[in-house]
Amino acid sequence: MMSILLVLLVSTLATINCQCLTGNDSPPAMNPNSKNILTEAKFNFTLEAFRRSAAMVSEDNLFFSPHSLHEALILAYFGARGDTEESLRQALKIPQTLSKVDVQRSYALDKALRRMQEQA
């Protein structure tokens, strides 16, 4: 009975030790220029969307929101991987210097700041 308890104790301690954080587990610092870079990227995306819509030949009226289009595509970008991620990155004009984590953090920070403004 004592040997079973000893084995259980040792195996528990071994698994607990494996779950400890290492010195390399902290996330990398956010790019301090990410907000400015993303604002410029969104502006360039909007201009490109207007250029393409102006080039369309149609007798009908056209109404669209580049902001809504950008927000929908950025959500798709957050869930994309591989070729789709790269295609969306190019379409959204997000430079290679920003990682997906930087983009997500920037949007999360923006959301938190807007929420604080609303509460004030």
Residue 17 is classified by DSSP as H
Measured from the Cβ of residue 34, the count of other Cβ atoms closer than 10 Å reads 21
Residue at 91 is within a domain = yes
Residue at 73 is within a domain = yes
Residue at 37 is within a domain = no
Please indicate, yes or no, whether the overall pTM of this predicted structure exceeds 0.75. no
CA–CA gap between residue 93 and residue 68 (Å, rounded): 16
Residue at 53 is within a domain = no
**Range with lowest mean pLDDT among 26-30, 42-46, 104-108:** 26-30
Number of domains in the chain: 1
Residue at 25 is within a domain = no
Residue at 16 is within a domain = no
φ, ψ for residue 18, nearest 5 deg:
-70, -25
Rg (CA), the chain: 24
Residue at 79 is within a domain = yes
Residue 26 is classified by DSSP as S
**Torsion sign, CA atoms 107, 30, 88, 95:** positive
pLDDT tens by residue, 61-86: 888 899 999 999 999 999 999 999 99
Residue at 76 is within a domain = yes
Question: Domain range holding 85?
Answer: 64-120
